[in-house]
Structure 1
Amino acid sequence: MLAILGITAPIFILIGIGFLCCSGGIVSREQAGGMGRFVITLALPALVIKALLEHPLEAVINWNYMLAYGAGSLASFAVGYAIARWGRRDSPGGAALAGLGSSVSNSGFVGYPIVVMVIGSPAAVALALGMMIENLLMIPLALTIAELGRRQDGSVWQALGGTLRNLVRHPVLIAITIGMVLAILDIRPPAVLMRVIEMLAMASAPVALFVIGASLTGLKVGAMYTDMAQLAVGKLLFHPLLVMACFLLFPVDDPGLRMAGVLMAAAPMMSIFPILGARYGLEGRCAAALVATTVVSFLSISLFLWLLH
């Protein structure tokens, strides 16, 4: 247990530092937001490009990993959606967001920093593969269902088209495309540019954790305990357990990559979850769930580290 705490404690200490700095006025929420945009726009894309260029393409594109992680995420989404829509009589938009919160991890800000401490550099490969699943499958699926529930005309193609137009401009997806093209053509950037990419990539984990802590400042939990409980259990327990089960259906030879997939799934939901919820008037619920899962994930991630070891 002490070894597990040695891995997880520094992560949450950095999150705590971000929270204290923001709540104490050292850093404002606006400044923390700028740091978050730095991570999303520059640091994480640099990390993805670095991972795709440092590893042989056949080692990066692991189809069984993508099938297992994708199937586990879809199963977790379905459970979360079904409980919210038919068990708790939620709206289609609310149920879609419940499914999204149960199946899409904060891979860049929490999952990657933890996984890299456990397995080292291969964590960047797991990050790139996981983000393909999240950005190309899970987020479009959830937002399309939510938009269909919101639109009067119920046009599937309009809802899907609007979602895809936003996704194709995502910096991480652009980075994945650039990295894949360079890897396929066997082109390597000049040494100076590669060094810049490496420096940006190294900044991603600590800055991301600091931003997560700062973003928790001032969020109101309120009385949404049922919503918080469903999302916390779905995200922190069902999602990693379902991904772990899917690795039995789609075996992955590399034990480090299997561990990375489960730990990525055990991370709390993505930090932009409240921002997505705001479009449907559910930012309070989403923010409360983000606070709860981020705090409780200290225990759940430690549990899965113990199980995997």
Structure 2
Amino acid sequence: MHLAGTILPIFAIILAGWLAGVCGYVSRDLAAPLMRFAYYVAMPALVFLTIADETLHSLLDWRFVAAFGGGSMLCFAAVMLFERIARGASVRTSAILAAAVSMTNTGFVALPILKALFGQPGVLAAAIATIFVGAILFPVLVVLLETDRSDAAGNLRGAALIRQIATNPVILATVCAVIWSMIGATLPGPVASLLAILGEALTPCALFSVGLDLTLRELRERLGLYALLTALKLAIVPLVVYVLCRAAQLDHMATVAAVVCAAVPTAKSAYVLAVEYDVEKAVVSGVISMTTLFSVVTLLAWLHIL
């Protein structure tokens, strides 16, 4: 009951956003601005406030990175190789389908859940996972999508990728917070209060925007493929991460955090790249919708098991 009481209200916000969009109570056009506020303002504020109070030793938990990141990359590689060898798919198609399975929505979904479960340590774990997805997995996917491009446009996109990583708000907030933590200074009271207020806005804004932007039209076609990719995302990826957590002998909180980060829905950034490169847009969109719908059940199951 405690887990349900913690998790279900979080998914109820997603449901409220979806109902508001379906009924026309709130325009779906508001989803993008809400996501931008959550990603560019609320999340960096919360990440900075959390990390600035941590020691450098607590930030550099390579076992957590190895378990979550290693599990994500292993599943990414496995799905891509299967698509390439067994189905003869192109590199671009294989890569984007692998991303639909392994790129996880750590910022908008895992972070609010871990914050509710563990407080600041949960935020820290979600921030590290978010940085891995944004700074490691995302660039790997872009490089693979660019393999068929050798023109100037491809070079321009490569430069844009470097700029995007260097100016990523979560990465910038993390770097600034680590520097602040190394200095050992204390945040002034008004600044800490400001960051706390902005950070508290992350959960409602991010989750409501996820629901507002959720559509079910994509689920009508190729349902079998969507179901397979969803099962891999919500069951197999967290299982692989859990095995690596046990192998790395992570403590209980870090293990739960890593599995939650792996078990949340597919990240919207995978769909952004699918649109940008015009590859399997409907499939990625459908997997995002289906993983969002079923993750409430699978997350409760994983948390109950753990």
Shift of 1:218: 6.4
Within a 5 Å distance, the mapping from 1:188-199 to structure 2 comes to 188-199=186-197
Separation (CA, whole Å) in 2 of partners of 1:227 and 1:110: 24
Please, which runs of 5 or more residues in structure 1 have no aligned partner?
none
Asked if structure 1 preserves the Cα contact closer than 8 Å seen for 2:75 and 2:102, the reply is yes
2:42 corresponding residue in structure 1: 43
1:85 corresponding residue in structure 2: 84
Shift of 1:226: 3.8
Paired letter, 1:144:
V
Counterpart secondary structure, 1:221: helix
Shift of 1:54: 2.2
Separation (CA, whole Å) in 2 of partners of 1:186 and 1:98: 44
- Superimposed CA distance per residue, residues 98-148 of structure 1 (whole angstroms, 9 cap, x where no aligned partner): 222222211111111222222232111101211221112111111111111
Within a 5 Å distance, the mapping from 1:164-243 to structure 2 comes to 164-217=162-215, 219-243=217-241
Separation (CA, whole Å) in 1 of partners of 2:160 and 2:208: 32
Question: What percent of counterpart residues are identical?
Answer: 26
1:263 corresponding residue in structure 2: 260
| TM value normalised by structure 2 | 0.92
Shift of 1:206: 1.8
Bigger drift between 77-86 and 190-199 goes to: 77-86
- The 1:208/1:155 distance shift into structure 2, 3 A limit, reads closer
Shift of 1:283: 2.0
Task: Report the count of equivalent residues.
Answer: 305
Separation (CA, whole Å) in 2 of partners of 1:190 and 1:121: 19
Asked if structure 2 preserves the Cα contact closer than 8 Å seen for 1:105 and 1:268, the reply is yes
Task: Tell me how large the CA RMSD over aligned residues is.
Answer: 2.1
Within a 5 Å distance, the mapping from 1:290-309 to structure 2 comes to 290-308=288-306
1:276 corresponding residue in structure 2: 273
Shift of 1:87: 2.5
Shift of 1:176: 1.1
Counterpart secondary structure, 2:39: helix
Please state which structure has a larger fraction of its residues in helix.
2
Asked if structure 2 preserves the Cα contact closer than 8 Å seen for 1:126 and 1:261, the reply is yes
Separation (CA, whole Å) in 2 of partners of 1:5 and 1:267: 16
| TM value normalised by structure 1 | 0.92
- Superimposed CA distance per residue, residues 227-266 of structure 1 (whole angstroms, 9 cap, x where no aligned partner): 31232122111211111111133222x3112111111110
- The 1:102/1:158 distance shift into structure 2, 3 A limit, reads same
User: Is 1:285 aligned to residue 283 of structure 2?
Assistant: yes
Asked if structure 2 preserves the Cα contact closer than 8 Å seen for 1:132 and 1:173, the reply is yes
- The 1:297/1:164 distance shift into structure 2, 3 A limit, reads same
Counterpart secondary structure, 1:216: coil
Bigger drift between 24-33 and 202-211 goes to: 24-33
Shift of 1:16: 0.6
Separation (CA, whole Å) in 2 of partners of 1:159 and 1:302: 40
1:115 corresponding residue in structure 2: 114
Shift of 1:167: 1.7
- Superimposed CA distance per residue, residues 56-103 of structure 1 (whole angstroms, 9 cap, x where no aligned partner): 221122111112211111111112212222233322112111222222
Shift of 1:268: 0.8
Paired letter, 1:181:
I
Asked if structure 1 preserves the Cα contact closer than 8 Å seen for 2:263 and 2:299, the reply is yes
Shift of 1:168: 1.5
Counterpart secondary structure, 1:122: helix
Asked if structure 1 preserves the Cα contact closer than 8 Å seen for 2:215 and 2:289, the reply is no
2:6 corresponding residue in structure 1: 7
Paired letter, 1:202:
E
Counterpart secondary structure, 1:276: helix
Within a 5 Å distance, the mapping from 1:33-72 to structure 2 comes to 33-72=32-71
- The 1:33/1:159 distance shift into structure 2, 3 A limit, reads closer
Shift of 1:29: 1.7
1:247 corresponding residue in structure 2: 245
